[in-house]
Amino acid sequence: MNIDSKIYVAGHRGMVGSAIWRALASKGFRNLIGKTSQELDLRKKEDVAKFFKEERPNVVIDAAARVGGILANNDYPYQFLMENMQIQNNLIDYSLKTDVQKFIFLGSSCIYPKLALQPLKEEYLLTGALEPTNEWYAIAKIAGVKACEAIRKQYGKDYISLMPTNLYGPNDNFDLRTSHVLPAMIRKFHKAKLAGATSSEPVELWGSGSPLREFLYVDDLADAVVFALENQFSDNLYNVGTGNDLTIKELAIMIQRIVGHTGEIKWNSIKPDGTPRKLMDVSKMENAGWKAKIGLEEGIRKTYDWFLANQQSFKEVKI
């Protein structure tokens, strides 16, 4: 790639897409294309076809998806399956049809089986049953991975899939109805801290707190995407993470301390825990030459600072 390559970042206003946009701009790439969902509905085949015919990007980075936590996945399974497949199918198919030379597909660690051996290796894909609480999203993402693999095999194009672990950072979703665990904790602890008269109110969190999770600051993922853009990879699927995890209870205590909440944490064990553990084997990516740089505590502090600066603009997400 050179700095004049025309790069389309699908989903450029989301947490992941905006981080990728910042990373590309900071590296000097100056021919970036971004379209809002109002300007281009990626679910509509005809609109996507028209866009690719007119713009003819050299590179496509697919950071567009319908995302959410356990509650959102459970309540809207059809939307999580169908809309994600519509988005990625249109992007992948028209990239192929218009001779896009490099395509980077972004997925999620949820593509791997619920009870797969830890840490999760790329080769574990499709070797067991998925976690039921997010299988709809996972199935869509698996289809995207296999579509890129098929194009790579049949047409010899440089289409690769990066599977990040749990992401967080600036522009995250802090809506308690649809957010993931880390931003939800930040908002809950902050709200309880402000509500307490003399000390913080108690905070209720879902599950037992025992599941183990890995978290990656979104700017690290963006750095991995730029690395993948600038290098030729020998395979089609790569995990992106830190290679380290902690329990949800340990995460809660860390966020509580950073936010400054001093009240009690109550664990609602009636609510689902999800997958017992999700730790990524990141050796393939490290062998390729990339490694995460931002530690969890540093990343949470940066995210909380962004939350404080932007909390007045948060809106509830209507599904």
Q: Point out the annotated binding site for NADP(+).
A: 11-17, 106-109, 141, 164-167, 180
Q: Which two tokens stand for residue 310?
A: 């932007």
Tally the C-alpha atoms within 13 A of residue 10's C-alpha that lie toward its C-beta: 29
Residues 6 or more apart whose CB falls under 8 angstroms from that of 250 comprise none
Question: Per DSSP, what are the bridge partners of residue 106?
Answer: 162
Task: Name the binding residues.
Answer: 11-17, 106-109, 141, 164-167, 180, 188, 206, 213, 273
Please, what is the Cα angle at 39 between 149 and 303, to 5 degrees? 70
Q: Quick check: 205 and 270 in contact, CB under 8 A?
A: no
Strand 212-213 relative to strand 246-247: parallel, antiparallel, unpaired? antiparallel
My answer on whether omega of the bond before 119 falls inside 30° of 0, hence cis, is yes
Please, what is the Cα angle at 285 between 284 and 290, to 5 degrees? 145
Residues 6 or more apart whose CB falls under 8 angstroms from that of 234 comprise none
If phi > 0 it is left, if psi is from -120 to 50 it is alpha, else beta; for residue 28 that is: left
| DSSP line for 138-151 | HHHHHHHHHHHHHH
- Which residue of the set 137, 168, 238, 304 is catalytic? 137
Q: Which two tokens stand for residue 250?
A: 């340990």
Task: Reply yes or no on whether 137 is catalytic.
Answer: yes
Across the beta sheet with 237-240, what order do the strands follow? 32-33, 7-10, 59-62, 102-106, 158-164, 237-240
Write out the catalytic residue numbers: 137
